Structure 1
Amino acid sequence: MRIRALAALLLPLALLATACGGASSASSAGATDGTGDVVLGVGDQKGGYEAILRASGELDGLDYRIKWSTFSSGPPLLEAVQAEAVDIGGVGNTPPVFAAGSGSRITVVGATHGSSAGEAIVVPKGSPLTSPKQLRGRSVAVAQGSSAHYQLIASLKRAGLGIDDVKLKYLQPADALAAFSRGRVDAWAIWDPYTSQVLRSTGARVLTTGEGVVNGLGFQVASPAALKDPGKSRAIGDLLLRLKRAQAWVFKHPEEWAKVWAEETGLPYEVALDSVERSHGTRVSVAVDPAAVASEQRIADTFADLGLVPRRFDFADFVDTRFNRDLPPSTTAPRSYGKATS
């Protein structure tokens, strides 16, 4: 019963998985009021851009309209960008690598940097494991091609291990939770808000986090066709500025945002607040600068070496820096709430 209840809690979170793979579909979410003739198609995820912009008041005073489309994860959102079904959308640090590696027509135009404390490898309550080095020969659940996948690889490397030193179980979050709760895997590599939920719901313990091993970046990715359209390009620039201000609002109003986020996603309020304070509320808009590009290139090369990306490529070829002005470097420290959650 407990496992079924936990799995049910994870169902609404499937719509938040910005980095996970798997098939999904988009659903039109209508248009945001605006007075102009330009209509900007924005790919979103449940509790994502539309919610944060509306809660912060940043959807007021638009001189263009936004047509929202909702996706369950980053990869299908980028498929829609490639197909020009949407003009722009936000994803984690790994989906652009897989899209670019497959030759998709996408362009990274904006970035955010935040804490990687929510990128974690967790072990069950009572587990004898106390160090990533002890994962040798152990089974680890992870969503293939996700940011957690890369975090697992990087964390193992730091511990002197390779990916072949563990028994990988490629599972999406709901299936991974069932396996984790029943003791069928020894550890689970996951990201927030799943991290915050499993810690509260099962008494799991963090073995290690992504801090210091992954880049903590997220990206706004646009269609090249939209960027060639003067009206849409101007709207994209305005949207990026509004997102910058909205993220600053979240940091100043974590409890208010957690309440909105919980209502939007079905998360328990305490889990939403944990996730805001651990990772989601720490984000700041940054430039897509050479440091960010180099960091993504390392991810791309890692997955190419593992044969998970079909070709080697230059990530810089998929970046447009026109919106970098007045943004801090990508290495800017994430905002911190001054306390740790567990």
Structure 2
Amino acid sequence: MKLNVAKPWYIMVISLFAVFTLLSGCSSEEKKESSKRELTTVKIGYQKNGPLVILKSLGTLEKRLSKKGITVEWKEFQAGPALVEALNAGSIDFGRTGDSPPIFAQAADAPFVYIAAGKPKFKGSKILVQENSPIKTIADLKGKTVGFAKGSSSHYLLIKALEKAGLEYSDITPAFLAPGDGRVAFEKGNIDAWVVWDPFTSSAEVNSKARTLTDGEGLTTDRDFLLASTEFAKHKDIVAEIVDEIEKSSEWANTHHQELVDMLAPILKIDKPSLDMAVKRRVYGVDKMTDLIVGEQQAIADTFYDLKIIPKEIDVTEALQK
């Protein structure tokens, strides 16, 4: 298997931000026209492993918005960066992602706002090695190849773990891999360590006997974030109804673990023991964008800027819903 080993940082930045710029330019007129039309459809981006797939599966949002003559269109994404690109392009109105993709989006001047945050889920975000790996500590990662999704929450977790161990980001060789590709590379031994989130983490622990070097505790809160395009965010009543339904579906998920596992297993194509582990160490829910949470996001932005992973400093408060 050929790995996508990291290129120099400036190549990475150019390629990442070229996508945002191109999509932004191509879609500006489309967004202007869309804003003039009466809202009849809400396009929501989701990931199979996130809280929005629960809302989608329960079907309560469709029932609620249908009373206003609004239909819901769901679009699936494997990871947050692609979802945020779609938000920037106007392909979706609303979505959920991890903590790092919004940082890249804001640095690329993407038109979006934070709507709300999720609960911390650091217990399910881990740096994994094979059971028989000679790597025993984070410090042992020096000179090793580490797989993770570029621009994801795992990217930040890795940076903070290396920092705590006295290593630089340049001390490891990044292999940029989406979760599915990362799992294959990990099991074949093509990478020395893998940074990923639940339920990919729990599945590797249950089925591949993966060993944990560290989870995110003390390093990152690893929250979800609910985002909307700046145009769609103007529909504050509809946004509020979506958030309300997310809160209700989250409450259901927290109190119906077995039903949640039974529901997610065929969707995610992950075994029930792995899902049971994942849901038991996570709390679903919605938090307002408090100063504390904004500060967490600002710390991520500052870290990425200091490492020249994003090309400019950003102020997270500028992307808050007005």
Q: What CA distance in whole angstroms lies between the structure 1 residues aligned with 2:59 and 2:179?
A: 32
Which string of whole-angstrom CA distances, capped at 9 and with x for unpartnered residues, describes residues 49-69 of structure 1? 554125556334433322222
2:42 to 40, 43, 49: 40
Aligned CA distance change for structure 1 residues 262 and 169 (closer, same or farther; 3 Å): same
- Greater helix share, structure number: 2
Greater CA drift, 54-63 or 159-168:
54-63
The CA distance in 1 between the partners of 2:120 and 2:52, in whole Å, is 19
Q: Deviations over 1:74-107 (max 9, x none)?
A: 2222222223332211111111011111110111
Question: Does 2:154 match 1:148?
Answer: yes
Match in the other structure for 2:183: 177
**Contact 2:116/2:288 (CA < 8 Å) preserved in 1?**
yes
Contact 2:257 2:276 in 1 (8 A): yes
Q: Which runs of 5 or more structure 1 residues have no equivalent in the other structure?
A: 4-20, 24-35, 322-342
Provide the rounded CA distance (Å) in 2 between the counterparts of 1:47 and 1:153. Answer: 23
Name the structure 2 match of 1:215. 221
Normalised TM-score (structure 1): 0.76
Question: Which residue matches 1:72?
Answer: 78
After superposition, residues 143-292 of structure 1 pair within 5 angstroms as 143-228=149-234, 232-279=235-282, 282-292=283-293
* Contact in 2 for aligned 1:114/1:284 (Cα 8 Å): no
Distance 1:134 1:51 in 2: 37
- Say if 2:79 and 2:178, in contact at 8 Å, map to a contact too: no
**For 1:98 and 1:205, how far apart are their aligned partners in 2?**
30
**TM-superposed deviation, 1:157:** 1.1
Instruction: Please give the per-residue CA displacement for 1:175-205, whole angstroms capped at 9, x wherever unaligned.
Output: 3333322333321111111111111121111
**Structure 1 range deviating more: 213-222 or 73-82:** 73-82
Residues 49 and 159 (structure 1 numbering): CA distance in 2 closer, same or farther, change over 3 Å?
A: closer
Residue 11 of structure 2 is matched in structure 1 by none
2:148 and 2:52 map into 1 onto residues whose CA distance is: 29
Q: Alpha-carbon deviation of 1:299?
A: 0.7
Code of the aligned partner of 1:181: E
RMSD: 2.3
1:46–1:309 CA distance, 2 compared to 1 (3 A): same
Question: 1:133 corresponds to which residue?
Answer: 139
* Mean CA deviation greater in 176-185 or 95-104: 176-185
User: Residue 305 of structure 1 corresponds to which residue in structure 2?
Assistant: 306
Between the two proteins, the alignment pairs up a number of residues equal to: 284
Between the aligned partners of 1:143 and 1:212, the Cα distance in structure 2 is 21
In 2, Cα distance between equivalents of 1:257 and 1:222: 26
| Cα contact 1:139–1:187 (8 A) shared by 2 | yes
Q: Are the structure 2 counterparts of residues 273 and 225 from structure 1 closer, same or farther at C-alpha, using a change threshold of 3 Å?
A: same
Which residue in 2 is equivalent to 1:7?
Answer: none
Comparing 48-57 and 124-133, the one that deviates more = 48-57
1:274 and 1:205 map into 2 onto residues whose CA distance is 15
Letter in 2 for 1:253: H
| Structure 1 counterpart of 2:102 | 96
**Which residue number in structure 1 is paired with residue 4 of structure 2?**
none
For residues 161 and 101 of structure 1, what CA distance do their matches in structure 2 show?
A: 26
User: Matched residue of 2:123: which SS?
Assistant: coil
- 1:184 to 1:38, Cα distance in 2 relative to 1, 3 A: closer
Change (3 A) 1:96 1:163: same
CA distance in 2, matches of 1:47, 1:209: 18
Report the counterpart of residue 9 of structure 1 in structure 2. none
CA distance in 1, matches of 2:262, 2:172: 39
SS at match of 1:89: strand
Supply the AA of the counterpart residue of 1:193.
Answer: P
Structure 2 unaligned residues grouped into runs of 5+: 2-15, 20-37
Shift of 1:48: 4.7
User: 1:47–1:264: 8 Å Cα contact kept in structure 2?
Assistant: no
Q: What is residue 130 of structure 2 aligned with on the other side?
A: 124
Conserved 8 A contact 1:117-1:211:
yes
Residue correspondence of structure 1 range 7-46 to structure 2 within 5 A: 38-46=40-48
Please state whether the residue corresponding to 2:124 is helix, strand or coil. coil
Q: Find the aligned partners of 2:279 and 2:174 in 1 and give their Cα distance.
A: 29
CA distance in 1, matches of 2:52, 2:134: 43
